[in-house]
Amino acid sequence: MDFRDRQVVVTGGTGALGQAVVGGLIEQGATVHVSYVVPGEAERFPLRDHAAVRLVGPIELTREADVDRLYAGVPKLWASIHLAGGFAMGGIVDAPANMLAQQMEMNALTAYLCCRAAVRAMRQSGGGRIVNVAARPALEGRTGAGMVAYAASKAAVATLTMALAEEVVKDGILVNAVAPSILDTPANRHAMPKADHAAWPKVEDVARIILSLASPENRVARGGIIPVYGRF
């Protein structure tokens, strides 16, 4: 995967999966624009001083003006990878009414605004690649029991991906998404210490799939929601 001289935006790039994605992009020659919300994210980001990394923030991805500011600073955008989002447990009776709105904002709205800004930029530069992050419940709705707001928001991301892929293919823009199960991250291990961590998909493996979808070598895949479940 050759990303030399390619400009890439990564939202959520300071997280566990984001660090693997950004690291892979740097290895392949990309210049990576990484958004963050609070200064502490940027300060803790281990790749913050790399010459190929451009940290941009504070950026609130639910605000249209902030998203437009992020993409306005990227010359000739090639790929936009949207890892930012949120998670909340809660069945429909126990969860407060605003949980659905919060999850839709954190997952679906952020993806929508970033996709829109990316499409505008890519139409000017002659095409590109967009990768979103859905989740296993987006493909297998029954696995969203006990987390219905989260499942609904990620299903919206999956549908957004498929619809947008059809809408922009003639612009030379290919849109796809990955749908992880529980990723093997320090935070998830801490939350579920007794789980079979070896069965969870590793962030490095998921990152490689994301880079493949975002790379110039991907010439045909579009509208796909790729399951990345590991053995879980």
In this prediction, residues 183-208 reach a mean pLDDT of 93
In this prediction, residues 194-207 reach a mean pLDDT of 94
The answer regarding whether domain 7-228 maps to CATH 3.50.50.60 reads no
Domain boundaries, the chain: 7-228
Tell me the two tokens of residue 152.
């609904």
CA 72 to each of CA 66, 68, 120: distance values in angstroms, whole numbers, following the listed order: 10, 6, 10
CA 224 to each of CA 82, 97, 197: distance values in angstroms, whole numbers, following the listed order: 15, 31, 27
- The whole-number pLDDT of residue 173 equals 98
Mean pLDDT of the chain: 96
- 128-133 sheet: strands from edge to edge: 53-56, 31-35, 7-11, 77-82, 128-133, 173-180, 225-228
d(CA 213, CA 79): 10
pLDDT over 90 at 94, yes or no: no
- The whole-number pLDDT of residue 1 equals 86
d(CA 91, CA 94): 5
User: How many residues in total does the chain contain?
Assistant: 232
d(CA 152, CA 149): 5
